[in-house]
Amino acid sequence: DAGVTQTPRHEVAEKGQTIILKCEPVSGHNDLFWYRQTKIQGLELLSYFRSKSLMEDGGAFKDRFKAEMLNSSFSTLKIQPTEPKDSAVYLCASSLYSAETLYFGSGTRLTVL
Amino acid sequence: GDSVTQTEGPVTLSEGTSLTVNCSYETKQYPTLFWYVQYPGEGPQLLFKVPKANEKGSSRGFEATYNKEATSFHLQKASVQESDSAVYYCALSDPGTGSNRLTFGKGTKFSLIP
């Protein structure tokens, strides 16, 4: 079975640009999460979907971050406009509604210049 | 809100010595506790989870006991090796909300002394 797929693996953006990160969850999973990973803060939740409905939108990240799930097998995270402080690894994870284990993708490393 | 505090890294040890990564948590609910491991270039993956107090979880030589009274879930391994070099995350869920969201600690990076 395919795991969680994230594209691109690396993204470099200029300050002020709009970037879109993509995620394909494990087939059949109901829950999808976006996390931001930094050395200082660790893993921070950005957004959480259950069966395509937005359940949680991380308060501190509402301003310029927007996650969408147009269908059960694809999600995007848009950052608009990007700032240098957004440089981090963005991780997507999915899980079954009935289970607690999250399955993570390999992440997208974003660098904002 | 929920929080997880774990040993601040990096931790470096000689091969064959024992590793302990401390994890303490705060929550109003009765959570399931997790240890995740992340290798370079990969996303975190589940090491093991423990849903009940006083039970022990284990995998790949690592183990941790869910201590509800002390609100702790310390990770231990008796004899570390090169392949254990990774970042370790302690996490908790919140079953009371019906959500699978996890709250993670900041991670503890472990590597062997060269």
pLDDT for A99: 75
Q: pLDDT value at position B34?
A: 96
The reply to whether residue A104 touches residue B43, judged by beta carbons under 8 angstroms, is: yes
**Hey, are the CB atoms on B101 and A48 less than 8 Å from each other?**
yes
Percent of chain B with pLDDT over 70: 98
Cβ contact, residue pair A95, B100, below 8 Å: yes
Quick: pLDDT tens for A12-21: 999 999 999 9
Fill in the DSSP letter of residue A57: E
Look at B43 and A107 and tell me if their CB atoms are within 8 Å.
yes
By C-alpha distance, which of A7, A12, A35, A5 is closest to A84?
A: A12
B chain contacts of residue A33, beta-carbon cutoff 8 Å: 101
Q: Mutation test of the interface with chain B: which of A57, A92, A102, choosing the one with the most B Cβ atoms within 10 A?
A: A102
CA separation for the pair B50, A68 (Å, rounded): 32
Evaluate if residue B94 carries a pLDDT over 80. no
Is there a contact between B94 and B84 (Cβ–Cβ < 8 Å)?
A: no
Is the per-residue pLDDT at A106 higher than 90?
A: yes
pLDDT at A1: 61
Mean pLDDT over residues B90-102, rounded?
82
**A58 closest CA partner among A66, A69, A47, A67:** A47
| pLDDT at position A61 over 80 | no
Q: Which residue of A has its CA nearest to B97?
A: A55
How far, CA to CA in Å, does A84 sit from each of A17, B7, B53, B108?
A: 11, 28, 43, 25
* C-alpha pair distances (Å), A10 with each of A56, A78, B34, B89: 26, 15, 28, 23
Section A21-41 average pLDDT:
94
How are strands ordered across the β-sheet holding A5-7? A5-7, A19-24, A74-79, A65-71
The stretch B60-75 carries a mean pLDDT of 95
Distance CA A56, CA A48 (A): 5
Least confident of B1-5, B18-22, B64-68: B1-5
Contacts of A25 in chain B (CB under 8 A): none
Place of tokens 């963005």: A90
Residue of B nearest to A101 (CA): B46
Partners of B8 on chain A (C-beta within 8 Å) are none
Report chain A residues whose CB lies below 8 A from the CB of B46: 101-102
Residue with tokens 């999915």: A94
pLDDT band at A108 (very low <50, low <70, confident <90, very high): very high
Q: Is-cis flag, bond preceding B10, omega within 30?
A: yes
Q: Is the pLDDT of residue A103 over 80?
A: yes
